[in-house]
């Protein structure tokens, strides 16, 4: 629902220096795109050879049960083996895998050897607790190295992780635990954010009291404040890692290429989040290929994906792909402007970051503090930049390019989704750029922009963004709800067999793609994906609320913010105190990211004659815009 109020600057070109073509991991775009399009199986089969397989695949792609596509059928692999085990057999064992900085300022670095040992130890702990192939494990942690260790350990033992972003609250956690039927949960006592402790364990305790499926909780000590530990259920991570059972040797479990690796919940058009399911084989091939080609990672790079491991960006491009490639990553625990607005730029300088990948909302947020903050630091180590999460407005693009990249670092504006696993529409470092456009599809990806019937729309016209061919990193299903998977993504263009992204987009005369935003009831708030229905059901779960409507309204820094309108039940009086109580309720139920910026108590909502709330009209009113066609309005 991002408002495309800016005019795509379709004739503003940026040409990267020729050096980005020399020695590039990616071949020439036009050539490889055409070659891949001719035979996607040959293309992806070739890419898969860069991984270590326990047994080769018999077929690259099985389309027989579409849309339940299968990739690398018959192949045996473990993604964690590719991320760790294979590297410790080479010189890379002594290479730094992860540099980490805590918000209070601690610094730590882990070599591939060390990370491999920690993961093996924890994999042994998990196994000793009875974790088996296919078990679902919930992870709810801050941005500390142990979250990466926990995820990789799950992969090693063949368990399926379900990471819940640390910004979610008790009800969101309880719902996800229940949906995944997850009996083991890994968390930490707390996380540092803006100098404050976010009490994660306390939230977990509340969530578990609602959803008693969880039998075991493993707690990493991070912030050190007292937490309650329930005997027989809760264990300290450091205690378990000190047991003799926690041996640093562990054979990665042989997985089928199509075995599930993780579930990651994301918002859709209903109140119930969707458990997006990804697998070991295709996901490993897709994330590592896209990272290698788009950000051209080399052994001397220091890669910083400034996302959270709790989102797909972190899964793919903090945890799995960089390790598969044997890269050095940086991860930071806390807030970008703590204690001062130069924190990020200081860390770029301190750690010699060479590639920075972040979201437009973060850029706009830091832009607000002015140029003096980045200008105090030597940012000359940066050679490539990236953007993800929502359309980047040309103004923010230009600032990022000029002030951060010093007019030489190209910006890779990567369009993709939780569902796609990795980059889908993106430049390569040697591709000419236009600020605000994600340029063209990655090799092997076929897209189109079409009308409701599926006809391609002409350049300059908005349409539905669809993906016309399967790709290895695609979601395989919605966990426990295959019908919803088919309905949601594959039914509108069932005849053609295309994947519906839910985004609207247009192409310009040069064939460059401009993403406009979601055209369903999903809102991007500070790059976070939220469903209006989730916020609404959160609001009506409060005893005072009879009906609620939530809409996304454009915001200069956050992309969109939420406005919500509630009708009270009889007997409740509107008041400032009640408004605050409702906001608090959402913070408790879903999390701070879902709290409406504006919450109004009203006596009626615009509805169709059949009783459907007209969000389009509410949104137009909220923005002070014309209401459009209101002939079906009953009010
Ligand atoms: C939605 C997916 C992909 C990782 C983070 C978000 C929007 C994402 C871009 C971009 C314009 C973008 C789309 C998409 N989006 N990247 N570069 N330009 N829009 O994953 O939470 O699953 O959200 O984010 O609307 O559908 P997600």
User: Tokens 């005019």 identify what position?
Assistant: 7
**Beta pairing, strands 255-256 & 260-266:** unpaired
Q: Does the structure show a pLDDT above 50 at 6?
A: no
H or E segment at 522? strand 522-525
Residue 390 Cβ < 6 Å to ligand 1: yes
Nearest-CA residue for ligand 1 atom 14 is 417
Q: Does the structure show a pLDDT above 60 at 5?
A: no
User: Tokens 């696993």 identify what position?
Assistant: 421
pLDDT at 246: 98
CA distance linking residue 363 with residue 366, whole number of Å: 5
CA distance linking residue 107 with residue 498, whole number of Å: 47
Residue 388 Cβ < 6 Å to ligand 1: yes
Ligand 1 pocket check: which of 311, 529, 594 to mutate, most ligand atoms within 8 Å of Cβ? Answer: 529
Q: Cα torsion at 567, 572, 573, 578 (round to 10°)?
A: -80
CA distance linking residue 170 with residue 206, whole number of Å: 6
CA distance linking residue 399 with residue 570, whole number of Å: 51
Ligand 1 pocket check: which of 274, 389, 529 to mutate, most ligand atoms within 8 Å of Cβ? Answer: 389
Cα 517 to averaged position of ligand 1 atoms, centre (Å)? 8
Cβ pair 249, 514 in contact under 8 A: no
Nearest Cα residue to 266 out of 277, 254, 274, 255 = 274
How does the average pLDDT of the chain come out, rounded? 95
Give the tens place of pLDDT for each residue, 413-470.
999 999 999 999 999 999 999 999 999 999 999 999 999 999 999 999 999 999 999 9
Mark 492-512 as b/e (b = at least 16 C-beta within 10 Å).
Answer: bbeeeebbbbbbbbbbbeeeb
pLDDT at 7: 47
CA distance linking residue 253 with residue 251, whole number of Å: 6
Residue 1 Cβ < 6 Å to ligand 1: no
Ligand 1 pocket check: which of 262, 269, 400, 417 to mutate, most ligand atoms within 8 Å of Cβ? Answer: 417
Residue 146 Cβ < 6 Å to ligand 1: no
pLDDT at 377: 98
Cα 415 to averaged position of ligand 1 atoms, centre (Å)? 6
User: Tokens 């890994």 identify what position?
Assistant: 186
Cβ pair 525, 552 in contact under 8 A: yes
Cα 494 to averaged position of ligand 1 atoms, centre (Å)? 23
CA distance linking residue 92 with residue 109, whole number of Å: 14
pLDDT at 1: 33
H or E segment at 289? helix 281-294
Averaged over 568-586, what is the pLDDT?
96
User: Tokens 């005849």 identify what position?
Assistant: 495
CA distance linking residue 512 with residue 515, whole number of Å: 10
Nearest-CA residue for ligand 1 atom 10 is 415
Q: Does the structure show a pLDDT above 60 at 617?
A: yes
Give the tens place of pLDDT for each residue, 521-555.
899 999 899 999 999 999 999 999 999 999 999 99
Cβ pair 313, 344 in contact under 8 A: no
The closest-lying atom of ligand 1 relative to the alpha carbon of residue 312 is 4
Ligand 1 pocket check: which of 286, 388, 466 to mutate, most ligand atoms within 8 Å of Cβ? Answer: 388
User: Tokens 């002409």 identify what position?
Assistant: 458
Strands (E), 407-539: 411-413, 447-450, 463-467, 477-478, 499-507, 513-518, 522-525, 528-531
Nearest-CA residue for ligand 1 atom 27 is 417
Cα 414 to averaged position of ligand 1 atoms, centre (Å)? 8
Q: How confident is the model at residue 253 (pLDDT cuts 50, 70, 90)?
A: very high
CA–CA distance from 156 to each of 94, 204, 307 (Å)? 21, 25, 23
Q: Cα torsion at 255, 260, 263, 264 (round to 10°)?
A: 80
Residue 117 Cβ < 6 Å to ligand 1: no
Q: Does the structure show a pLDDT above 50 at 269?
A: yes
Lowest-pLDDT choice from 143-147, 357-361, 572-576, 608-612 = 608-612
Q: Is 181 left (phi over 0), alpha (psi -120 to 50) or beta?
A: left
Averaged over 202-215, what is the pLDDT?
94
Compute CA 88 distance to the chain's CA centroid, rounded to the nearest angstrom.
28
The closest-lying atom of ligand 1 relative to the alpha carbon of residue 528 is 21
pLDDT at 11: 83
Count Cα neighbours of 248 within 13 Å in the Cβ-side half-sphere: 8
Cα 236 to averaged position of ligand 1 atoms, centre (Å)? 36
The closest-lying atom of ligand 1 relative to the alpha carbon of residue 518 is 25
The closest-lying atom of ligand 1 relative to the alpha carbon of residue 2 is 25
Averaged over 6-28, what is the pLDDT?
86
Ligand 1 pocket check: which of 163, 314, 515, 523 to mutate, most ligand atoms within 8 Å of Cβ? Answer: 515
Residue 415 Cβ < 6 Å to ligand 1: yes
Q: Does the structure show a pLDDT above 50 at 343?
A: yes
SS (H, E, C) 578-589: HHHHHHHHHHHH
Residue 349 Cβ < 6 Å to ligand 1: no
Compute CA 172 distance to the chain's CA centroid, rounded to the nearest angstrom.
17
pLDDT at 2: 39
Strands (E), 337-455: 355-358, 384-387, 411-413, 447-450
Residue 430, token pair as written in the block: 């040697």
Cβ pair 332, 101 in contact under 8 A: yes
Classify burial at 226, counting beta carbons within 10 Å of its beta carbon; exposed 0-12, middle 13-18, buried 19 or more: exposed
CA–CA distance from 234 to each of 147, 169, 186, 349 (Å)? 17, 19, 10, 40
Residue 266 Cβ < 6 Å to ligand 1: yes
* Residues 6+ positions from 11 with CB-CB distance below 8 Å: none
CA distance linking residue 248 with residue 123, whole number of Å: 9
pLDDT at 41: 98
CB count, 10 Å around CB of 422?
31
Residue 393 Cβ < 6 Å to ligand 1: no
Q: What percent of the chain has pLDDT over 70?
A: 97
SS (H, E, C) 197-224: EECHHHHHHHHHHHCCCCCEEEEECCCC
The closest-lying atom of ligand 1 relative to the alpha carbon of residue 426 is 17
Averaged over 1-28, what is the pLDDT?
77
Q: What angle do CA 100, 103, 104 make, to 5 degrees?
A: 110
3-state secondary structure of 276: strand
Number of H helices, E strands in the chain: 19, 32
Compute CA 405 distance to the chain's CA centroid, rounded to the nearest angstrom.
24
Give the tens place of pLDDT for each residue, 289-331.
999 999 999 999 999 999 999 999 999 999 999 999 999 999 9
3-state secondary structure of 225: coil
CA distance linking residue 219 with residue 190, whole number of Å: 10
Averaged over 397-414, what is the pLDDT?
98
């Amino acid at each position: 629902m991002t408002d495309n109020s800016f005019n795509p600057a379709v004739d503003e070109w940026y040409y990267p220096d020729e050096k980005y073509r020399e020695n590039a991991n990616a071949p020439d775009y036009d050539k490889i795109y055409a070659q891949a399009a001719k035979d996607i199986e040959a293309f992806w089969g070739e890419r898969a050879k860069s991984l270590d397989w326990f047994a080769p695949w018999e077929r690259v792609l099985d389309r027989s049960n579409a849309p339940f596509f299968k990739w690398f059928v018959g192949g045996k692999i473990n993604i964690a083996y590719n991320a760790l085990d294979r590297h410790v057999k080479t010189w890379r064992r002594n290479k730094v895998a992860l540099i980490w900085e805590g918000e209070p300022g601690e610094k730590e670095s882990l070599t591939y050897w060390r990370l491999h040992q920690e993961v093996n130890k924890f994999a042994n702990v998990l196994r000793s607790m009875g974790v088996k192939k296919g078990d679902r494990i919930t992870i709810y942690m801050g941005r500390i190295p142990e979250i990466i260790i926990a995820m990789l350990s799950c992969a090693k033992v063949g368990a399926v992780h379900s990471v819940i972003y640390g910004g979610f609250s008790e009800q969101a956690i309880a719902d996800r635990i229940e949906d995944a039927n997850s009996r083991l949960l890994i968390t930490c006592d707390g996380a540092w954010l803006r100098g404050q402790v976010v009490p994660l364990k306390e939230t977990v305790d509340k969530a578990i009291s609602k959803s008693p499926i969880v039998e075991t909780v493993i707690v990493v000590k991070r912030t050190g404040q007292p937490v309650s530990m329930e005997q027989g259920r809760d264990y300290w991570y450091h205690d378990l890692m000190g047991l003799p059972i926690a041996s640093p040797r562990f054979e990665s479990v042989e997985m089928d290429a199509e075995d599930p690796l993780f579930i990651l919940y994301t918002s859709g058009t209903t109140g119930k989040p969707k458990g997006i399911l990804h697998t070991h084989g295709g996901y490993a091939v897709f994330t590592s290929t896209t990272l290698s080609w788009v950000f051209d990672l080399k052994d001397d790079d220091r890669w910083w994906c400034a996302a959270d491991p709790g989102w797909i960006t972190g899964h793919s491009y903090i945890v799995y792909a960089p390790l598969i490639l044997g890269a050095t990553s940086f991860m930071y625990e806390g807030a970008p402007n703590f204690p001062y607005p130069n924190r990020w730029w200081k860390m770029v300088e301190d750690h010699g970051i060479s590639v920075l990948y972040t979201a437009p909302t973060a850029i706009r947020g830091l832009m607000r503090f002015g140029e003096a903050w980045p200008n105090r630091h030597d940012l000359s180590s940066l050679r490539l930049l990236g953007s993800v999460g929502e359309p980047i407005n040309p103004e923010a693009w230009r600032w990022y390019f000029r002030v951060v990249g010093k007019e030489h670092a190209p910006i890779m504006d990567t369009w993709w989704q939780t569902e796609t696993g990795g980059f889908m529409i993106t430049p390569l470092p040697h591709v000419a750029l236009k600020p605000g456009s994600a340029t063209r599809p990655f090799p092997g990806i076929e897209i189109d922009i079409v009308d409701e019937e599926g006809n391609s729309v002409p350049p300059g016209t908005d349409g539905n963004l669809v993906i016309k061919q399967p790709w290895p990193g695609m979601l395989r299903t919605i966990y426990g709800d295959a019908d919803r998977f088919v309905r949601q993504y594959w039914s509108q263009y069932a005849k053609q067999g295309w994947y519906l992204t839910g985004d609207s987009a247009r192409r310009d005369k040069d064939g460059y793609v401009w993403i406009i935003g979601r055209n369903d009831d999903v809102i991007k708030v500070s790059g976070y994906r939220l469903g209006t229905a989730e916020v609404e059901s959160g609001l009506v779960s409060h005893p005072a609320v009879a009906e609620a409507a939530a809409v996304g309204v454009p915001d200069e820094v956050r992309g969109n913010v939420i406005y919500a309108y509630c009708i009270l039940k009889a007997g409740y009086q509107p008041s400032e105190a009640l408004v605050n109580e409702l906001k608090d309720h959402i913070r408790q139920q879903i999390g701070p990211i879902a709290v409406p910026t504006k919450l109004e108590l009203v006596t009626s909502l615009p509805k169709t004659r059949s009783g459907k709330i007209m969000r389009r009209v509410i949104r137009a009113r909220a923005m002070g815009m014309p209401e459009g066609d209101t002939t079906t309005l009953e009010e």
